[in-house]
């Protein structure tokens, strides 16, 4: 239905409509992310997804590509939206930090970036564009000086 609506209005880069729900629930298949007392939480060390083909973002992307092919639609691209590591880390960290020392522990964000990278690469490989959403940056999850220190340290500068 979401794709049909976008096609009806001539959208050239469509999505599966994933913004219909919570932008982080998709990521609970990442080992280390889960729920504690019904809230998103870090429940262990964050590790890569073992089966990328069955990760919701990848399977949804494939479904949209297959649907467009079944319709015979040409010239329309598919976009996958990925919530970025800062927003994921901060949101899940508020419910529990697991093995991470604090919400400012750069290992948390580096681990998330490390596990998101193969997901992004897989989506690109099957033919999707990527949009990385980081609403946490706009919402000032971090004080600008803290973020600058984190980015400087993680880049090796």
Confidence of residue 153 (pLDDT cuts 50, 70, 90): low
User: Model confidence over 101-147: pLDDT tens digits?
Assistant: 999 898 999 999 999 999 999 999 999 999 988 877 777 666 556 55
pLDDT > 70 in the chain, percent: 84
Judged against a pLDDT cut of 60, whether residue 35 lies above it is answered with: yes
**Strand segments (E) across the chain:** 13-14, 33-36, 39-42, 77-83, 128-133
2-155 has CATH 3.40.50.1950 classification: no
Judged against a pLDDT cut of 50, whether residue 157 lies above it is answered with: no
Give the pLDDT mean for 8-24: 80
Nearest to 111 by CA among 85, 75, 87: 85
Exposed (0-12), middle (13-18) or buried (19+): which is 135, by Cβ within 10 Å?
Answer: middle
φ/ψ (deg, to 5) at 55:
-70, 135
Does the pTM surpass 0.95? The reply is no
| Residues with Cβ within 8 Å of residue 39, at least 6 apart in sequence | 94, 95
Confidence of residue 19 (pLDDT cuts 50, 70, 90): low
């Amino acid at each position: 239905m979401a794709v049909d609506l976008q096609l009806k209005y001539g959208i050239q880069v469509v999505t599966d409509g994933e913004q219909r729900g919570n932008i982080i629930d998709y990521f609970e298949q990442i080992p280390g992310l889960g729920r504690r007392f019904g809230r998103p939480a870090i429940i262990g060390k964050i590790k890569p997804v073992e089966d990328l083909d069955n990760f919701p973002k990848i399977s949804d992307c494939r479904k949209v590509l297959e649907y467009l092919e079944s319709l015979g639609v040409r010239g329309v691209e598919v976009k996958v939206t990925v919530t970025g590591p800062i927003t994921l880390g901060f949101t899940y960290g508020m419910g529990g930090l697991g093995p991470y020392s604090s919400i400012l522990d750069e290992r948390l964000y580096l681990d998330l970036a490390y596990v998101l990278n193969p997901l992004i690469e897989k989506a690109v490989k099957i033919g999707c564009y990527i949009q990385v959403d980081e609403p946490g940056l706009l919402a000032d999850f971090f004080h600008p000086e803290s973020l600058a220190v984190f980015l400087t340290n993680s880049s090796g500068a």
